[in-house]
Chains A and B, each alone.
Chain A
Amino acid sequence: MKTSMTTVGLTLCLALGAAHAQDKAPDWGDKISEEAFLKAAKESFYLNKPEEFERLNDPSLAICNATHNRPDDAQVKEILGREQAAIVYPKDKALFGDWQKGKKWVEDVHGGRIGYPGFLDADDPHHANGGNCYACHAIDPNFPQAGNMGPPLTNYGKFRPKTEAMIKYTYDKVYNAKASNPCSLMPRYGNPRLLTPEQVADIVAFLLDPASPVNQPPVNAAK
């Protein structure tokens, strides 16, 4: 529990740090009202189905945009409440899945890309989605690419006890990062977006299982 509190504090600092860096910009187009923007957006995007427009109109992000990622206390409460309520757990309540599957979900980029009819790079919704976590994190030390917009997750489970609290903290973070950090830079992955509860549980295992390559020394590159 203690570890998990420290982690929360640390990630909050990182997130706020990022917000500060952005404040060099005087405004975020604040002269344009949400209403005017959404009106322009209605004309500017091609929709295959009306629901696609919801991707432009999210109540939690509306607060983050209006406050430049600095919600006040009441807004924090509102976002955390809404996002915590949105977390769904696997039917069998098993939050710790199969790390080998998790390895794949973390790497894959597929999922959620939509486009004009006949555009070939749109994603097939019948195919399992991935999280593209390497866009922002270093994770498996053997994976050739990593981003640094999020903290490194290499050795994530090495110094963290595989307690129930740590498993739940990790599950909730991956399922809905805005349930603990209201304007987190990290996307919300859980249904109905990209990852199913079972996939998130597999990712939890990938991050926390001592046998996972995340928590093992890198395989020596020498052949």
Chain B
Amino acid sequence: MELKNTKLFFPILIASGALLVFLMRAFMNDYILIIVNFVGINIILAVSLNLTNGFTGLFSLGHPGFMAVGGYVAAILIFPAARKEMLLPELPRWLAMQQWPLLPALILGGLCAALIALIIGFPVLRLKGHYLAVATLGFLIIVRVLITNMEKYTRGPLGLNGLPSLTNLWWVFLWVVITIYVSWKIKHASLGRSMLAIRENAMAAECLGIALAKTRITAFVIGAFFAGVAGGLWAHLVTAITPTSFSILMAFSLVVMVVIGGTGSITGAALAAILLTLVVEILRPLEEFLGAYGISEIIIAIGLLAILIFRPRGLFGSSEPSFLVKRKKTPQGSEAGI
């Protein structure tokens, strides 16, 4: 609470983040930098999934599906025309000629994912609870099947490799900041409160004038947009993309991040993303050394169980650390006569 002005806190946070990015790029080796990039991408994914699952209570497992959409769109747009001619000779001419820079391709990838969320949102978001989870899982599988079969555009199961390695820590940092800003702003505004209301009690929300379908779709579409962007960043970090890149396991670990962080907490989702990514990456060499693959999954699953048992509302519950959300107290004046 020592910071007098919370308004200054966020610029300071962003500036320190930028400094950190600068220092890491100057002094860290490539291996560590790649891990840090993954951490950032997972923050984007967890924080945006938190908007759908955490704020609005829509238990979606479809996030990797939106990533795949954004990833492929960005990859096809960015790929140098010469390589496209070689790998994707059947691509329509207007598409084969495109050779976009990273940023607009990421945005268009995100928009395509958002558009698909809008289209599937109407039928799918009528479902509740585990029905919705199963339906979004179905969506993820359909996306993968479609990508596998649209060989003209995607090279099917072979995927696209040799993508230009455009993603760097600055781009990832930029999108982490944008994702957190957007969800922070929404959460602390009337729009976000209406989302939280739906999660807490849909019938009461409806009877207070909240349009359920519209609000749910808004949350779903925003979440999908950032998943699409993250997919593009991911593809151009790994420099390859195949239908199997976007797995049910990934859907699971993203949901775990939101649950561990505390459904609805932006800070929680971001910290859980950092934690889980580091656990996986740190254990990876150990797994390879011991030849015992899956240690990290087991540890994550045990961590999840521990959280569900000992702290079912996650590390942060639904809230943010209090020094970030100071509200000026109104004097608690005279109580009315009733």
Asked if A pairs with B, the answer is no
B residues engaging A (CB < 8 A)? Answer: none
A residues engaging B (CB < 8 A)? Answer: none
